[in-house]
């Protein structure tokens, strides 16, 4: 058993790599399950040893990758409190918010031979929960779109500045209407606690979607 701190070599990077890879799969799957895009653009792949649906639309894939490239430095520094996939109606009002609440321990106890497979098992459970979440959610109105919000601290935004310029992918402060939803119904989907990250996923669903 080895104890590392956040300052040790690559600890934050490893966690950020794992989480961003997971978030990429999760975002594709949410867009498929909640029918934000036509099902024809999705192809079945295997991730975390389970089948998932991933988009093959180049522009959409690039958009998701650019988004997560910008979020990654925040996760690396433990500055991303929440990553939220928001599904919005035609009027750009949120109808569903998939909230990934993330926290990382300041100290890390590693049993390296079991660590990755254990985390993979935990993340697989999230993927499986997302893939069946339509059973507990109401249908969305036609013509929905999506965006990704990141909850962070003002001082941490400097960690994003460089990558925003490199990727030519600027970020702005969200409007109140993009962040909050009136009297949402809360649906907890999954939570996990591992040596490297704690995460919980819940959905906030607008009571009246149409």
Partner 1 sequence: EKTELPESSASDKKVVLLPCRNPPSRERVQLWLEARKQYESLQRGR
Residues in contact with partner 1 by CB under 8 A are 36-38, 40-41, 57, 59-60, 63-64, 66-67, 70, 81, 143-155, 157-158, 160-161, 164, 169-175, 178-179
At residue 1, the 3 state secondary structure works out as coil
User: Between 156 and 192, whose beta carbon lies closer to partner 1?
Assistant: 156
CA distance 120 to 110: 15
Q: How far is the CB of 132 from partner 1 (least distance, A)?
A: 23
CB of 45 to partner 1, least distance (A): 18
Identify which of residues 128 and 174 has a Cβ nearer to partner 1 in the complex.
174
For residue 180, CA distances in Å to 93, 139, 175, 206 come to 9, 20, 9, 10
Residues sharing a CB contact under 8 Å with residue 89, sequence separation 6 or more, in sequence order = 95, 140, 141, 143, 144, 209
Q: How far is the CB of 32 from partner 1 (least distance, A)?
A: 12
Q: How far is the CB of 1 from partner 1 (least distance, A)?
A: 34
């Amino acid at each position: 058993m080895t104890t590392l701190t956040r300052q040790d070599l690559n600890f934050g990077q490893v966690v950020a790599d794992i989480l961003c890879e997971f978030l990429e799969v999760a975002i594709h799957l949410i867009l498929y399950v909640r029918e934000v895009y036509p099902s024809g653009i999705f192809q079945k792949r295997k991730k975390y040893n389970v089948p998932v649906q991933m988009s093959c639309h180049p522009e959409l894939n690039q958009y998701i990758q650019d988004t997560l490239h910008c979020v990654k430095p925040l996760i690396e520094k433990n500055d991303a409190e929440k990553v939220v996939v928001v599904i919005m109606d035609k009027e750009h009002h949120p109808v569903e918010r998939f909230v990934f609440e993330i926290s990382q321990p300041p100290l890390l106890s590693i049993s390296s031979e079991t660590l990755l497979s254990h985390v993979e098992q935990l993340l697989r459970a999230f993927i499986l929960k997302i893939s069946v979440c339509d059973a507990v959610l109401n249908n969305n109105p036609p013509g929905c779109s999506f965006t990704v919000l990141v909850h962070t601290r003002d001082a941490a935004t400097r960690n994003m500045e460089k990558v925003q310029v490199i990727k030519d992918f600027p970020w702005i402060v969200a409007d109140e209407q993009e962040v909050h939803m009136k009297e949402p119904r809360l649906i907890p989907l999954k939570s996990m606690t591992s040596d490297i990250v704690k995460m919980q996923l819940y959905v906030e669903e607008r009571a009246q979607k149409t």
